[in-house]
Chain A
Amino acid sequence: AQKITQTQPGMFVQEKEAVTLDCTYDTSDPSYGLFWYKQPSSGEMIFLIYQGSYDQQNATEGRYSLNFQKARKSANLVISASQLGDSAMYFCAMRASGAGANNLFFGTGTRLTVIP
Chain B
Amino acid sequence: DTGVSQDPRHKITKRGQNVTFRCDPISEHNRLYWYRQTLGQGPEFLTYFQNEAQLEKSRLLSDRFSAERPKGSFSTLEIQRTEQGDSAMYLCASSFGLADTDTQYFGPGTRLTVL
A interface residues (Cβ-Cβ under 8 A, vs B) = 4, 31, 33, 35, 37, 42-47, 50, 52, 91, 93, 95, 100, 102-109
A-B contact pairs, 14 of them (CB 8 A): A33-B102, A35-B103, A37-B106, A43-B108, A44-B109, A45-B43, A45-B91, A45-B93, A91-B43, A103-B58, A104-B35, A104-B104, A106-B43, A108-B42
Apart from A31-B100, A46-B106, A109-B42, 7 more pairs, CB < 8 Å? A43-B89, A44-B106, A44-B109, A45-B43, A47-B105, A93-B42, A109-B41
- Docked-complex contact B101 and A102, CB < 8 angstroms: no
| Chain B residues with CB under 8 A of A35 | 103-104
A10 nearest CB across to chain B (Å): 12
Closest to A92 in B: B42
A-B contact count (CB 8 A): 61
B interface residues (Cβ-Cβ under 8 A, vs A) = 31, 33, 35, 40-45, 48, 55-56, 58, 89, 91, 93, 100-109, 111
- Docked-complex contact B106 and A52, CB < 8 angstroms: no
| Chain B residues with CB under 8 A of A44 | 106-109
| Chain A residues with CB under 8 A of B35 | 104
- Docked-complex contact B55 and A102, CB < 8 angstroms: yes
In the bound complex, CA of A95 to CA of B99 (Å): 11
In the bound complex, CA of A90 to CA of B93 (Å): 17
| Chain A residues with CB under 8 A of B111 | 43
Beyond A43-B111, A45-B93, is A108–B40 a contact (Cβ under 8 Å)? yes
- Docked-complex contact B45 and A104, CB < 8 angstroms: yes
From B43, B55, B103, B109, contact of A50 by CB (8 A): B103
| Chain A residues with CB under 8 A of B105 | 47
In the bound complex, CA of A52 to CA of B98 (Å): 13
- Docked-complex contact A103 and B48, CB < 8 angstroms: yes
